[in-house]
Amino acid sequence: MTSTRLTFELPPSLEATVPPEARGLARDAVRLLVAHRESGELVHTTFRHLPQFLDAGDLVVVNTSATIPAAIDARGTDGSDAVIHLSTCLTEGLWVVEPRRREGQGSARWSDGTVPRRFELGRRASVELMEPFLESNRLWVARLSLPTATLAWLAVHGRPIRYSYVEQAWPLSSYQNVYATEPGSAEMPSAGRPLSMRVITELVAKGVSVAPIVLHTGVASLEADEHPYPERVRVPPSTAAHINETHRAGGRVIAVGTTVVRAVETAAGHDGIVAPVDDWTDLIVTPERGVRAIDGIVTGWHEPAASHLDLLEAIARPDLLQRSYEASLAAGYLWHEFGDSHLVIP
């Protein structure tokens, strides 16, 4: 199978600019489009009704990585007003970062030829850009010099990363999934945001299991030609065993988000058997590679020509994905981390 990479125009009116709670909705009241792979049927519903589409014996896998306040105000040594986005922790004090120029209420990318190599972050705090990260033209390996441990310092001085379509600042709690336990993601693994404790309880009561993985996400890959960078991943032995037992018993494994797909597929052998993993992953899931251990996915709606669409084509047929996106656009579904949801199941 080769990628057809969907192309479409996303009207600004379909960008979710505020959390659903600010629109008078519970987090599980966002809209959900259910796409059935075998029949091709599309069903419009709300996320609250997710349990109706899963069966006893199915397994839902979630990413329990918690969002950190990864955006920091900075001043370049050339006097420039900047924002530093922390992306990935390599070791304590050594991070992959994205420096951005302050632009109005938001920020914009810097060309690598003009970015300062050092930024002041406040009293006794600074960041020094050391070298480009891999072949990126926007991410840098950087050394952070902070007076306290990074997460403790960020709790006081950092804020959640947000982009221009989000019109005002929202607290970190708006960017957390209810089951998040381990801080480390630069941006929220947002597919799980509508998964409320009420929905989780109903899933478990129905006989649908829930199991965790951890994948700390870096900054969003917004360029059409960019693929995900290496990220830290952990698939615990208990989750690996649960996935394998679900398949042996005839159940389906449903990933909540592309991060879960990347984690589980990293841990899956050619035969689909999943082993525990605690390592870095550079896996890029494509239609050509396919998926070996994931049967379905809960996800958001992705930007035109985004690389995440390749991963979705590996789970959904290209024609089904095309119809899903056409239906969501026609029905006015909302995009981005505060938007609506998409479920693809066999």
Which class for 57: exposed (0-12), middle (13-18), buried (19 or more C-beta within 10 A)?
Answer: middle
Helices 308-315 and 318-331, packing angle to 10 deg: 120
Using the structure block, give the residue that is written with the tokens 């997710």.
50
Whose CA is closest to 199, among 208, 212, 187?
208
All residues at 6 or more sequence positions from 294 whose CB lies less than 8 Å from its CB, including other chains: 253, 254, 255, 260, 261, 264, 265, 315
- Spatial contact of 65 and 182, defined as CB atoms under 8 Å apart: yes
CA distance 294 to 274: 10
- Structure pTM? 0.94
Whose CA is closest to 67, among 194, 185, 239?
185
CA distance 302 to 258: 11
Whose CA is closest to 188, among 162, 158, 157?
162
Q: What pairs with residue 45 in β-bridges?
A: 32
Predicted pLDDT at 191:
97
Whose CA is closest to 191, among 179, 203, 173?
179
Predicted pLDDT at 6:
73
Length in residues, the chain:
346
The encoded tokens of residue 276 equal: 């525990």
- Spatial contact of 73 and 131, defined as CB atoms under 8 Å apart: no
pLDDT tens, N- to C-terminus, the chain (346 residues): 344 567 788 888 999 999 999 999 999 999 999 999 999 999 999 999 999 999 999 999 999 999 999 999 999 999 999 999 999 999 888 999 999 998 776 788 886 678 999 999 998 999 999 999 988 888 999 999 999 999 999 999 999 998 888 989 999 999 999 999 999 999 999 999 999 999 999 999 999 999 999 999 999 755 555 678 899 999 999 999 999 999 999 999 999 999 999 999 999 999 999 999 999 999 999 999 999 999 999 999 988 767 788 899 999 989 999 999 999 999 999 999 999 999 999 9
